[in-house]
Structure 1
Amino acid sequence: MEALLNKSVRLVRGVKTDSVRYLFDKIVWNNRLIGIKGARGTGKTTLLLQRLKALSLPPHQATYWTLDDLYFTDSGLADTARLFYNRGGRILFLDEVHKYPAWSQHIKNLYDEYDDLQIIFTGSSIIDIAKEEVDLSRRALMYTLYGMSYREYMNFKYRSELPVLSFGEIISGTQVWQDKFPEKFRPLEYFAEYLQQGYYPFSLEDEEGFATRLQQVIRIIVEYDMAQLSGFDIKNAQKLLQLLYILSANVPFKPNISELARKSHIHRNTINEYLHFLEEAQLIRLVYPAGISVSTLQKPEKIFLNNSNLAFALAPNATDKGNLRETFFASQMAVHHKISLPKQGDFTINDTYVFEIGGKQKGRKQIEGMEHAFVVVDDVDFPALHIPLWVFGMLY
């Protein structure tokens, strides 16, 4: 165990705390069992290490372990955690829990056995703790970490000091929120850059190698992380990748299940289930008509990529500006709001507000006469009549 503690010390020493993700200040850190889900590459590990560093506790009291460490191939988590506790340990940060067999059972046992041991764990976005062998949903306070907003990207990379805006402020008009921005702020200066490489925090570490690394992350998600899903046959990983590439070249995609099955060589009876897997992995976004209840086996009305960065990684020669606009809008809104498809317009938010997305010449023709309907326009800074697209990147 000393090796684990020493490794934790080295990792904490190397992490920077000058900038933290939006979720850091929203987590109720004093809860005894906290779970953080998120797609690979969104910064869950950094979040844990930053919290551990902020505690300023010695490693025998608070430590970080990743459960894909070779140490745990021949040393059990429960026994190691008990040894840690008996030596004075009180806070345990566990990373990549989905890599460890029966992880939910081990965490439940530790939670029940030691009422003064705090456990904070992270896992893939594909985890559904209510469907694990042991349901932790009544014990754990769960959060989801999404990729960076446009605001976070600007603040982290360019040291901007951009505000968080509420949805209500945005739809109230530019006069409500424009003065909150620095006078010299040019909102479109780095917007195209964000669309291509700003969603994943690791772009800040390696800008030149970002596209290659993102492609590798996609393969790891499909070929390894999805092996943890109940009902997913890992032998079909290659077919799932093929399905993802088909979708990426055609988004926004109105699914024809028979055609998708033919092109991907996946049986048509399982296509909807596999689409659901890809959405859980935060690789695509399934959008359904407004006002309906959604089941896993239901065919979506439209399919988008989860975020605009994926479009450049998966289909760089097929990126379409209209699709990038809609993908960006959906990725930023989905963090705190429900998205669906209206009969008129592009998106319905929270079953009430309708948005039509377009270029700077976009008018209200598609939503004329509709209540609670707004036009969102790209390629403009602070338009007088409509809402600029970039401002939806300030929601978190």
Structure 2
Amino acid sequence: MLNEIRELQQLLLAKNKTTYKRYFFQTIDFDRLTGIIGARGVGKTTFLLQYLKAHQLPMSKKLYLSADSIAISSLFDVAKAFAKEGGELFIIDEIHKFSGFENELKKIYDFLELDVVFSGSSALKIDNSKADLSRRAIIYEVEGLSFREFIELKTHTTLPTFTLEEIITSHTDIAYTLLEKIDTNLFDEYLEFGYYPFYFDKKSKYKLKLNETINTVIEVDIPSIFNIEYKNIVILKKLIKYLCASSPFTPNITELLQKMHLGSDYRSLYRYLEYLHKAKIITLIRPKTKGDNIFTKPEKIYLNNTNLYHAYCQDAKRGTIREIFFQSMLKVHHTLALPKKGDFLVDEKYIFEVGGRNKGFKQIKDMPNSFVVADDIEIGSGNKIPLWLFGFLY
């Protein structure tokens, strides 16, 4: 069994030629049980293979297993056999594909002297698992490419990141510095193609691959994690299409129930929206006072990133694209809510109004800590900040 796993591991290592390291490579503090979760296609497998290669242990003490690559009855049995051979680092990819993985990980953690790193869908229900992994595992959630990372991959340059506070206070100077190194004409390419790293594998097939990836999330990943019947998967797809027609969508729950033919079953509707949110296909902006209660009506619903919007929505509206980009960059390190005035309340402190180059301050006039985020400008001034600059937050 271990020999077969090692053979597959070697094939993957030989195939993986990627040297670029994502924003999270140096930020993860590995412990005895470390989980990496994120949307399908954002580079989790590449990261795990890079980590396997870079780890100072000799290869004989490291093992990579994709949970769906070979037929095994027990992850614990594999781990035990590996530990008996002197293994120290066990990496398990796509762990959500293995039924009962929670108890398997608990047994490995409790009975074996192994460091375990695992990856899974962003929808993975760690906190609610019966094995209580939340007390044992440290979980890191990773996102798709930022605009900065896209430029680095595209142009083979190295660029800095900036905090939100740095952008707010010094955006003019930062923009001048960056414009000496980058071409902001790449921004439109990023909005349509740049969120998922596999764009750089075969650019002409990107949208086809993206649609295949999302279909796999809806048809395979979500049913494997949540209790949803296969016949209801069509509702998830209908929700995405419906959101396209209205995005950025301020939901009318009664109308949504009618469109999805759910009668008065609003709890199922909220669950389906939550499944898509957890799987990083949509983003729900909830009232800041209601927290993460899934049965609270979201105030706005976006597709998760601009590439999904371009791929799914035939009539791509620039105003919607701007808001989707802004929320996709900010949500990585910040909390978002809908303010009474403006488009986004960030960290319960800053108010942002997102628009085009001529966007003014009328909606947020006299509001403290308020800013206009403007598309189609390279350099801003005062409280007017270029939209593209928020692509350098990570």
TM-score (norm 1): 0.95
Answer whether contact 2:353 2:373 (CA < 8 A) is retained. Answer: yes
> Per-residue deviation at 1:261?
1.8
Q: Distance in 2 between matches of 1:224 and 1:322?
A: 32
Report the counterpart of residue 138 of structure 1 in structure 2.
Answer: 135
One-letter amino acid of the structure 1 residue matched with residue 385 of structure 2? I
Q: Distance in 2 between matches of 1:33 and 1:184?
A: 40
* 1:173-231 Cα deviation digits (max 9, x unpaired): 32452354262423x21100000011111111111111011111111111111112343
Answer whether contact 1:173 1:387 (CA < 8 A) is retained. Answer: no
Answer whether contact 1:169 1:176 (CA < 8 A) is retained. Answer: no
Report the counterpart of residue 232 of structure 1 in structure 2.
Answer: 228
What does residue range 316-327 of structure 1 map to in structure 2 within 5 Å? 317-327=314-324
User: Which stretch of the first structure deviates more once superposed, 378-387 or 100-109?
Assistant: 378-387
One-letter amino acid of the structure 2 residue matched with residue 19 of structure 1? Y
One-letter amino acid of the structure 1 residue matched with residue 110 of structure 2? D
> Per-residue deviation at 1:58?
4.0
> Per-residue deviation at 1:290?
3.8
Instruction: Give 5+ residue unaligned stretches, structure 1.
Output: none
* 1:132-171 Cα deviation digits (max 9, x unpaired): 2211111111100111100011101221322101111011
Answer whether contact 2:335 2:347 (CA < 8 A) is retained. Answer: yes
> Per-residue deviation at 1:90?
0.8
User: Which stretch of the first structure deviates more once superposed, 4-13 or 148-157?
Assistant: 4-13
Answer whether contact 1:162 1:182 (CA < 8 A) is retained. Answer: no
Instruction: Say if 2:279 is the partner of 1:251.
Output: no
Report the counterpart of residue 207 of structure 2 in structure 1.
Answer: 211
Answer whether contact 2:172 2:379 (CA < 8 A) is retained. Answer: no
Report the counterpart of residue 340 of structure 1 in structure 2.
Answer: 337
Report the counterpart of residue 17 of structure 2 in structure 1.
Answer: 16
Sequence identity, in percent? Answer: 39
* 1:234-262 Cα deviation digits (max 9, x unpaired): 32011211111111222111111121122
Q: 1:191 aligns with which of 187, 191, 194?
A: 187
Answer whether contact 1:342 1:348 (CA < 8 A) is retained. Answer: yes
Report the counterpart of residue 262 of structure 1 in structure 2.
Answer: 258
Answer whether contact 2:290 2:296 (CA < 8 A) is retained. Answer: no
> Per-residue deviation at 1:356?
0.6
Report the counterpart of residue 157 of structure 1 in structure 2.
Answer: 154
- Distance change >3 Å, CA 130–CA 289, structure 1 → 2: closer
Report the counterpart of residue 107 of structure 2 in structure 1.
Answer: 109
* 1:86-136 Cα deviation digits (max 9, x unpaired): 11111000001111011010111011111x310000010111212122111
Q: Distance in 2 between matches of 1:182 and 1:302?
A: 33
* 1:49-79 Cα deviation digits (max 9, x unpaired): 000011254443101100011332xx42221
Report the counterpart of residue 242 of structure 1 in structure 2.
Answer: 238
One-letter amino acid of the structure 2 residue matched with residue 166 of structure 1? T
One-letter amino acid of the structure 2 residue matched with residue 38 of structure 1? G
Answer whether contact 1:338 1:349 (CA < 8 A) is retained. Answer: yes
How many corresponding residue pairs?
A: 390
Answer whether contact 1:35 1:142 (CA < 8 A) is retained. Answer: yes
Q: Distance in 2 between matches of 1:161 and 1:328?
A: 22
Answer whether contact 2:286 2:296 (CA < 8 A) is retained. Answer: no
Report the counterpart of residue 25 of structure 1 in structure 2.
Answer: 26
Q: Secondary structure at the match of 1:286?
A: strand
Q: Secondary structure at the match of 2:246?
A: coil
Answer whether contact 2:172 2:380 (CA < 8 A) is retained. Answer: no
Q: Distance in 2 between matches of 1:150 and 1:175?
A: 18
Q: Secondary structure at the match of 1:245?
A: helix
Q: Distance in 1 between matches of 2:170 and 2:78?
A: 56
- Distance change >3 Å, CA 4–CA 226, structure 1 → 2: same
Report the counterpart of residue 98 of structure 1 in structure 2.
Answer: 96
Report the counterpart of residue 367 of structure 2 in structure 1.
Answer: 370
> Per-residue deviation at 1:84?
1.1
User: Which stretch of the first structure deviates more once superposed, 162-171 or 58-67?
Assistant: 58-67
User: Which stretch of the first structure deviates more once superposed, 246-255 or 145-154?
Assistant: 246-255
Instruction: Give 5+ residue unaligned stretches, structure 2.
Output: none
Report the counterpart of residue 41 of structure 2 in structure 1.
Answer: 41
Q: Distance in 2 between matches of 1:184 and 1:227?
A: 45
Instruction: Say if 2:7 is the partner of 1:6.
Output: yes
User: Which stretch of the first structure deviates more once superposed, 15-24 or 306-315?
Assistant: 15-24
